[in-house]
Amino acid sequence: MNTRVFTSPLFLGFDHLEQMIERAAKNSSDGYPPYNIEQLSPISLRITLAVAGFTMDDLQITLEDNQLVIRGRQTDDVHGRVFLHRGIAARQFQRAFIIAEGIEVKGAWLDNGLLHVDLVRPVPQPVVKNIPISKGQTKTNVAPTRMVDGDSPAQGAQGSPPAVRYGEKTETPS
């Protein structure tokens, strides 16, 4: 699926954002485990996952390339147990959330079968930068090489001016 959103030439450097949108579209649509996302304040969020039956050792939280990945893996502990009915299966999961640049994971805790992950977006400080404009400097051009096999750099092809190697700087007056 190709979702080109920023096709205007005025959107420079938004390739990374397009990749994140595509990654979000590819994320699993599996509803397990169920989760909530709460806004606690204008700068803080909380993700809560229902992970009943999982211990802290069964869960792993990582931040991978602006993607918060929560994995759960339970071990199937049936040694010496006889089930007459087994409706609670040991199940593994992976849930990924794409988070914006600058959002920080403040912490996570497990309480009564709920895994809570707190996120904070620090308030960015406005940045204004003046770009100086200079005038009257000599322009520097890069000229391509005009050499024929067997010619020395000091001479060009027969009757032509001396060759210039690609990457050599030539001065041109303003």
Domain of 72, CATH number, reads 2.60.40.790
> Is residue 136 predicted with pLDDT exceeding 50?
yes
Question: 21 lies in a domain?
Answer: no
Which segment of 6-20, 93-107, 115-129 scores lowest on mean pLDDT?
Answer: 6-20
Enclosing domain of residue 46:
33-76+86-120
Which pLDDT score is estimated for 156? 46
Retrieve residue 81's tokens: 């147990």
* 80 to 1, 83, 98: CA distances (angstroms): 49, 10, 42
- 46/135: higher pLDDT: 46
Answering whether pTM is above 0.75, one says: no
The total number of structural domains in the chain stands at 1
161: confidence class by pLDDT, cuts 50, 70, 90: low
Q: Compute the mean pLDDT over every residue in the chain, rounded to the nearest whole number.
A: 78
Which DSSP helix (H) or strand (E) runs through 37?
strand 35-41
Which pLDDT score is estimated for 141? 60
Is 23 exposed, middle or buried, given 0-12, 13-18 or 19+ CB atoms closer than 10 A?
Answer: middle
